[in-house]
């Protein structure tokens, strides 16, 4: 089992920044690719960003590319999502996820473990 706990969400004005963290514990979390997804009210969960087990090969949704940066620190078993130039449409619950795959994937069904989510609200 892998346990994932997100933090760093909150309320921010449009144009502002937030950094989300995802602390992983349990079974060999450092050799897994990790991803961030989000779900807004009334919408399906969507891919935001992912990173390989080595911390390279990042992948981003088109809607966040150039504004968000995913990174990881395997020594701390933590994955980060730096979010800049936030927009009201970024408002959602953000989920961290882990997969047994080592390399980056945007497919939610490939991820085996999910955190409880952290709310991000961007006001206009």
Mean pLDDT, the chain, whole residue set = 95
CA 36 centroid distance within chain: 2
Q: What are phi and psi of 78, to 5 degrees?
A: -135, 140
Label residue 120 by pLDDT band (50, 70, 90). Answer: very high
CA 62 centroid distance within chain: 15
Summarised one tens digit per residue, pLDDT across range 43-76 is 999 999 999 999 889 999 999 999 999 999 999 9
Say how far apart CA 107 and CA 51 lie, in whole Å: 13
* Cβ pair 23, 7 in contact under 8 A: yes
């Amino acid at each position: 089992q892998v346990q994932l706990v997100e933090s760093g969400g909150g309320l921010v004005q449009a144009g502002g920044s937030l950094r989300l963290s995802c602390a992983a514990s349990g079974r060999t979390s450092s050799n897994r690719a990790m991803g961030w997804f989000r779900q807004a009210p009334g919408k399906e969960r969507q891919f935001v960003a992912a990173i390989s087990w080595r911390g390279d090969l990042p992948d981003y949704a088109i809607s966040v590319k150039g504004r968000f940066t995913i990174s990881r620190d395997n020594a701390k078993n933590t994955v980060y999502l730096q979010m800049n130039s936030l927009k009201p449409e970024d408002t959602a619950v953000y989920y961290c996820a882990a997969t047994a795959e080592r390399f980056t994937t945007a497919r939610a069904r490939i991820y085996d473990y999910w955190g409880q989510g952290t709310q991000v609200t961007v006001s206009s």
